[in-house]
Structure 1
Amino acid sequence: MGDFEHYAVMTETDDPEADRLHEECGVFGIYGHPDAAAITALGLHALQHRGQEAAGIVSFDGQRFNSERRLGLVSEHFSRASTIERLPGQSVIGHVRYSTTGETILRNVQPLFSELSSGGFAVAHNGNLTNGMTLRRELINEGAIFQSTSDTEVILHLVAKSRRNRVVERFIEALRQIEGAFSLVALSNKKLIGARDPLGIRPLVLGELDGHYILASETCALDIIGARFVRDIENGEIVVISDEGIESLRPFPKKPMRPCIFEYIYFARPDSIVHGRSVYEVRKAFGAQLARETQIDADVIVPVPDSGVPAAIGFAQESGIPFELGIIRNHYIGRTFIQPTQSVRELGVRLKHSANRAVIAGKRIVLIDDSIVRGTTSVKIVRMMREAGAREVHFRISSPPITHPDYYGIDTPDREKLLAATHSIEEMRAYIGCDSLAFLSIDGLYRALGEPGRDPQRPQFTDHCFTGDYPTNLTDVSGETKTQLSLLAEAG
């Protein structure tokens, strides 16, 4: 979910994580299970990679709704028995959050809850509304009072405003007014509801445990609790789970599915299955295709951990060049460790990554990573490799250059801060300081996914970060920005 506040983006010396892409949220819901809150906490733990700044759970115990929302990791709060005991009930939804704009404050933590005329209603959202600010202004002008800066609250107000009788009808009427990307789980006093946007940009799956239905952002959340994967929620589909079973509704005009391609590149956990494809195997296929497209004579393949590991395995297998862990990641250094002094901030990358000198020294190495955003972390990693004695450093990226910002739930900087949007490949190579630099082609990306290539007339994925092809209206984007994006798309 997105926020409407804006603040200055950290520079690379402030925080190495600022040079990574971030998914905003993960959602989970279960209906009718006696251990619903504990199961939801486990599911959120499996989805922690989708958001590490806050987590929340709302339960319904047959009489009242109960809410626990906390800043920090799931394990910091929801592994305690005392917290789970404050969430009685057999129907529960949960959320993990990464904020893209605005400070991380408790009032923005989901699920959001409100008492409506029809009873309590809670909602959790993965994605971003591209007309959320416009709708928010309209609602405020009509007298609505907002408690958060989250576009998810817009959905809550639209549901509250509806004059339909049934909560599902009110929910559908609200969804008809929003644009952009959304996977939603919602909870009323009688129903668990899941919804996916008409293009299926953000993921949502249906599972089953002991005869009880589950909704989750990824299949890895089902695996951790021993649940059975049933199917993907389809684009434009709404599922309603109640004591009567499960009902599927399709209130939107049928459109071809265009899921976000970054689920395969970076966001989904490697052990998840996304639309029938193993994320791990797809990432290996990206690496293999990259090796075919960008042949190089080198001694060792080195992944940038952890994101580059599967692609590096595929690259090594295809090229015949040995795979080695030339960079060791320290998993126990968090963002809070970075102190506000310049000397310590400049060590940010070294705090998380260390060169394995025994593998690097005297070798011609090929670094494999999944993407380049600002490029600042890449500069430091290449420098680290040279200081460890690498004879040559070649950089290979298992996705095309990111040239356009995202408006659907990925935290990307403005276009002028995207390295590939303002530099040629040779200029990027010089900036990063490597001996050669190459990216996977857009057609190669599609081929690795089993497609013949990208058909500009009928693209099968949401790939606007590479192509400028935005699949929905961008109502909240300024006219000047829209013109720039349009010209860039035509030029590209």
Structure 2
Amino acid sequence: MTSNVEKYVRPSASAGQDAPEPDDKLHEECGVFGVWAPGRDVARITYFGLRALQHRGQDSAGIAVGDGKTVLVRKDLGLVTQVFTDADLSAMPGKVACGHCRYGTAGAKGWESAQPHLSMINDVIIALAHNGTLVNFDSLRHELIEMGIPFRSNTDSEVAAKLIGYFTQRGHRLRTGIAHTMRMLEGGYAMVLVRENALYAFRDPHGIRPLVLGKLDDGAGWVVASETCALDIAGATYVREVAPGEIIRISDDGFRSEMGCRPRTPANCIFEHVYFSRPDSVKDGSSIYLVRHNMGRRLAQETPVDADLVISVPDSGTPAAEGFAEESGIPYGTGLIKNRYVARTFIAPTQELREMGVRLKLNALADVVRGKRLVMVDDSIVRGTTSAQIVRLLKEAGATEVHVRSASPMVTWPCFYGIDTADQDQLIAANMTLEEIRDHIGADSVGFLSLEGLMACVPEGVGYCKACFNGEYPVAIPRTFYEEKFLPGYEPNNLNPVSAESKMNLEDVLNLEEKEN
């Protein structure tokens, strides 16, 4: 079997294929994974880590491996299992690796948007895996282009890689280049970077995007990942979260941590608790499953209903549905069966497939729901399209009433920090009243968890970004970035100004560092 492992060249690829239409969920752009483990099969460890993070991105996947001399990369469109063969992994021996799985968003399609992103710093190859969005990447990219630095894509990940390269060439240390870059970036990001002999991990100063650190159980190395569920499959023990603004470096010289930039007001993405993270992950010391279970209990307290059976929209709505049933005393049952073999496709759906809609993924158990008044619990309602299809499905199966409950507050504001929220005019809660939403999706009643209720369920003492619920953005959004993204009458509230360094040109940042030292 021939391996498709690539070096610093662009392979032929199926760029330009249309991504599927957005569904009724928010999607984070990606999951990242990194491992330092000399003597271990780091490519396969990364492969299984990405399998654990597949829910965070299903459009492309990639792995980069450093073998002490160079960096090899394999990436392509598709699921992790579709991109990598056994021959690919066997052809990528090394001591350090990073991986990436991505959910494609508008404006960044094709092979070049797949990660890790490769870049050259003099004769050193680096591979960067990035989860998040840089809100000032356009101005940074323009400045780099003006300086004669070429680009192969329009992604913010390449901007970060080129900035790191620029500062590293002048500071002569990769850690210095990363630190300078972090001072200029605005937005939410968690990044993992490998060179031929070292692993780096760093996180935005607000901690918006998640990143955790683990140690392999046999003491053979270290792992970083978007979620703790990826540490589990890699055989690593959770150590701690990567701190906001922190840079971690792991190499033959050992483990080293330093602050790349000053930490700012903590603003962890609260949607990790609502939807993104797997229920078996742990975040901020709390089980994601138990948090969602408690959200369901609180939802039952806030939006009671007289019904015969509580069902969930599998799988993400299940913990909350169980909590709702426990608190309300209404029996919990399985009313919907999920087809787990429906993967994302790069073939544009036909009109017939669009009309089939949710039936490709879900089917109602008529014998369970027939003649019943149902409480249908989902993790969130974003656009409303899927909710309407499921309600219709359940009523066609014989349900007499369907009362829809969302275990998250109303999503009324776009996100600019790494979630694919559509323009505000596509968010159902920003356009309709509760009664209008009920009529639009065909439900007998609709209820949402309050923001106060959600905050009572998540871990205390942790700062959160709640912008998708209340429009209060922890990182200032440039007007050019959100132009025409908001409905009339909506104005974002920027809680913090951008850093002074992010407004400087590149040379000034270098001079500032020299003065401080």
- Judge same fold: TM > 0.5, yes or no: yes
Helix, strand or coil: the match of 1:89? coil
1:172 to 164, 174, 179: 179
1:57 to 37, 57, 63: 63
Task: Give every structure 1 segment of 4 or more consecutive aligned residues whose post-TM-superposition deviation is greater than 6 Å.
Answer: 7-10
CA contact (8 A) 1:206 1:232 kept: yes
Q: Which residue of 1 aligns with 2:74?
A: 68
1:30 to 19, 35, 42: 35
Separation of aligned partners in 1, 2:399 and 2:367: 10
Deviation per residue, 1:378-420 (Å, 9 max, x gap): 1111111111111111011000000001101111110011100
How big is the shift at 1:339? 7.0
Letter in 2 for 1:125: H
2:45 to 21, 39, 43: 39
Separation of aligned partners in 1, 2:157 and 2:464: 24
Once the two structures are aligned, what percentage of the paired residues are identical? 47
- Structure 1 stretch 107-116 or stretch 95-104: which is displaced more? 95-104
Q: Which residue of 1 aligns with 2:364?
A: 355
Q: Which residue of 2 aligns with 1:152?
A: 157
Structure 1 residue runs of 5 or longer lacking an equivalent are 1-6, 453-458
- Structure 1 stretch 108-117 or stretch 197-206: which is displaced more? 108-117
Q: Which residue of 2 aligns with 1:139?
A: 144
**1:273 to 2:276 alignment:** no
CA contact (8 A) 1:338 1:344 kept: no
The 1:488/1:213 distance shift into structure 2, 3 A limit, reads: closer
Alignment of 1:203-218 (within 5 A): 203-209=210-216, 210-211=218-219, 212-218=221-227
- Structure 1 stretch 363-372 or stretch 158-167: which is displaced more? 158-167
Deviation per residue, 1:165-211 (Å, 9 max, x gap): 11110111111111000000011233211101011111111111132
CA contact (8 A) 1:468 1:485 kept: no
Separation of aligned partners in 2, 1:120 and 1:481: 37
Question: Alignment RMSD, CA only?
Answer: 2.2
Q: Which residue of 1 aligns with 2:476?
A: 473
Separation of aligned partners in 2, 1:341 and 1:154: 36
2:203 to 173, 196, 199: 196
Give the structure-1-normalised TM-score. Answer: 0.92
Equivalenced residues, count: 473
Q: Which residue of 1 aligns with 2:293?
A: 284
Helix, strand or coil: the match of 1:199? coil
Letter in 1 for 2:161: L
Structure 2 residue runs of 5 or longer lacking an equivalent are 1-15, 495-517
Separation of aligned partners in 2, 1:252 and 1:109: 28
The 1:76/1:321 distance shift into structure 2, 3 A limit, reads: same
Separation of aligned partners in 2, 1:337 and 1:356: 30
Deviation per residue, 1:8-46 (Å, 9 max, x gap): 998xxx75x522211111111111332111111111111
Helix, strand or coil: the match of 2:290? helix
Helix, strand or coil: the match of 1:393? strand
The 1:451/1:174 distance shift into structure 2, 3 A limit, reads: closer
Letter in 2 for 1:171: I
Separation of aligned partners in 1, 2:158 and 2:488: 30
How big is the shift at 1:337? 9.4
Separation of aligned partners in 1, 2:482 and 2:362: 39
How big is the shift at 1:482? 7.6
Separation of aligned partners in 2, 1:323 and 1:170: 54
- Structure 1 stretch 327-336 or stretch 392-401: which is displaced more? 327-336
Letter in 2 for 1:320: G
Q: Which residue of 1 aligns with 2:440?
A: 431
CA contact (8 A) 1:259 1:461 kept: yes
Helix, strand or coil: the match of 2:206? coil
CA contact (8 A) 2:115 2:129 kept: yes
CA contact (8 A) 1:66 1:86 kept: no
Helix, strand or coil: the match of 1:265? helix
1:441 to 442, 450, 461: 450
Separation of aligned partners in 2, 1:133 and 1:188: 26
Letter in 2 for 1:436: S
**1:111 to 2:116 alignment:** yes
Q: Which residue of 2 aligns with 1:330?
A: 339
CA contact (8 A) 1:338 1:345 kept: no
